[in-house]
Amino acid sequence: MPRTRTHQKPRRGLVRGTVRDAGQDSARRWLAWSCVAVVLVRAVYVFLPLRSDEGGYLLIARQWQAGGEFLYGDYHVDRPPLLMVIFRLAATTEWDQAIRLLSIPFAVLFVVAAARAGHLVAGPAGSRWSAVVAAALVVTPAVAADQANGGLFAVPLVMGSIALTLEAWRRPPGARMVWLAVAAGVLAGAAPLVKQNFLEGFVFAVLLVLAAAVRRRVLDTRSLRLLAAGALGAALPHAVVYVWARAVGVDPGRIWRELAVFRGEAFEVIWGHSLDKPLTRAAMLLGLALLSGILPLARAWLLATREQSTPRLDETWGILGCLVFGLAAIVAGGSYWTHYLLQVAPALALAAGVAAAAPSVAGARMRWWARFTAGSAVFSVVVMLVVYATVPWAWFHQRTGEWLAASSQPGDTAVVLYGNPSILEAADLPTPYPYLWSLPMRTLDPHQDRLRATLAGPEAPTWVVQVNHPNSWGIDEGGRLRRLLEERYDVVTTVCGNPVWLRSDLVRRTVEPPRC
């Protein structure tokens, strides 16, 4: 009597479907936990003191008005309008740390967009690893991601543009493809309105299409429609800025001068003086790129693309273009501040997902470096929190500002030599001198004529906080500013190691300096 079969071998399609569902569930879990980690870490950052750029942008946003001497009123800043809109939104509350709170959804958006882009190129595995690397890069202090600066607000726009471009690229011709391309263009166009050099959304889309055209030996109508729709979307945010400028009486040419021409003039100033500090920061930047995992990730991706037997030409060229452009933008920046490294975060997040998803030696190598990047981020966060908990000097911006606020009277003003406008923001004091950072001062007031006229004039500030020596960068070699300070001001105390000068004709009851 034949046996009755009690077990049948599952059909192949069912097995594949089950594996696919399991992979997608795993990718969703990884994404969820990555987002939770980002929210928790950035929630801690909310309660840490603002840094120089954050405080300066917030100070300018609070007094943003039409008809001032500069683009946003009485203070000069070489940053695009959309970034200042974000800070203006944060300035609607008196709580300075609101800008850090506002940065949390932007960081989460970056992780979600990276995961989606990784999924579109390399499936669930690509989504998982892109999410992990994106989460690490958007929280690690090694690239100054703890701050709410222009780079942090621009990277999710670039990453979102890349994800939407890939969505449109994989759609059949039709209205949905066009609208996705328009949306990708909007985000790509908005990114440089947050930070001028974040153009990777354009770079990725153009190289994606060109690589496909070279491979197929034809630039088809569908690709042209995608590019045209993207260009239309990119024009929209710039059109909005143009309409705004006309509405408030700002010459669009002025926007170009303050945001682009100034950068060229500032670069000449940086490289026209001593290069010791820029080169020292460049060496530090290189070290941080290594320790944060950025350089190892880039190298692992390049090795992976070289070892692939059937490389994904379209996406590969898009990622490569973004990496090259990002590195060029970092080099062209001149000052080499730590936050420059965020420029390559979108390309590396996608590159990590693509390479780590491969079941090969190259994929294993990328997975190892992705774990290293995540571990480096955890280590950097812990080190930074220990520093803020144990090193009082780390709070000197905040505590100097708080001391000024406690020692001032209504109507007082202040000037900080040179830069560090976060002190003014923490003190809630205006300044009669329009250049809040050292680089604009060195570029637009190189002989300190306006600074000396401000200190000697009838609207001279009540306080002068000397964070840097008056002759920093050799800018006061004749000692004229120093003599003016000594003639019209008196040092009343030292706060966090920095002399604080009070105008000689005024009397203020100062509080005890904080421990720094």
The answer to whether residue 213 sits within a structural domain is yes
**CB neighbourhood size of 253 (10 A):** 10
What is the reported pLDDT for 307? 76
What's the rounded Cα separation, in Å, for the pair 111 and 109? 5
**So what's the pLDDT on residue 274?**
66
Query: What's the domain count of the chain?
Result: 2
Query: Are 162 and 302 contained in the same domain?
Result: yes
Q: What's the pLDDT score for residue 344? A: 96
Do 370 and 402 reside in the same domain of the chain? no
* Angle at 46 (CA atoms; ends 40, 49), nearest 5 degrees: 140
343 and 399 both lie in a single domain: no
Q: Does residue 343 sit in the same domain as residue 481?
A: no
Judgement on whether residues 229 and 89 belong to the same structural domain of the protein: yes
pTM: 0.91
Last residue of a domain, one of 390, 425, 460: 390
Residue 57 counted as domain residue: yes
Would residue 509 count as lying in a domain? no
Query: Rg of the chain over CA atoms, in angstroms?
Result: 26
| 34 located within any domain | yes
Contact 495, 405 (CB under 8 A): no
pLDDT the model gives residue 474: 86
Which tokens is 64 given? 């943003």
- Verify that 172 and 285 share a domain, yes or no: yes
- 86 plus 229 within the same structural domain: yes
Which of these, 231, 151, 219, 223, lies nearest to 183 by C-alpha position?
231
5 is written with which tokens? 């079969």
The answer to whether residue 8 is domain-embedded is no
Give me the pLDDT at residue 19, please.
Answer: 52
| The predicted structure's pLDDT at residue 310 | 43
Q: What is the model's pLDDT at position 3?
A: 45
Do residues 168 and 300 share a domain? yes
Distances in Å between the Cα of 33 and the Cα atoms of 27, 38, 131 are 10, 9, 9
Q: Are 237 and 193 in contact (CB under 8 A)?
A: yes
Per-residue model confidence (pLDDT) at position 366: 95
For residues 206 and 229, state if they share a domain. yes
**Residue 225 located in a structural domain:** yes
Residue 511 lies in a domain: no
Q: What is the pLDDT of residue 20?
A: 60
* 370 & 448 share domain: no
The reply to whether 514 falls in a domain is: no
Low-confidence spans in the chain with pLDDT less than 70? 1-20, 22, 274, 308-312
Question: For residues 448 and 71, what is the distance between their CA atoms, to the nearest angstrom?
Answer: 22
The last residue of a domain, from among 372, 390, 408: 390
Structural domain ending residue among the three candidates 332, 364, 390: 390
pLDDT the model gives residue 14: 46
DSSP state of 391: -
- Mark whether 187 and 96 lie in a shared domain: yes
Instruction: Enter the tokens of residue 110.
Output: 């970056």
Do 490 and 384 lie in one domain? The reply is: no
What's the domain range around 369? 14-390
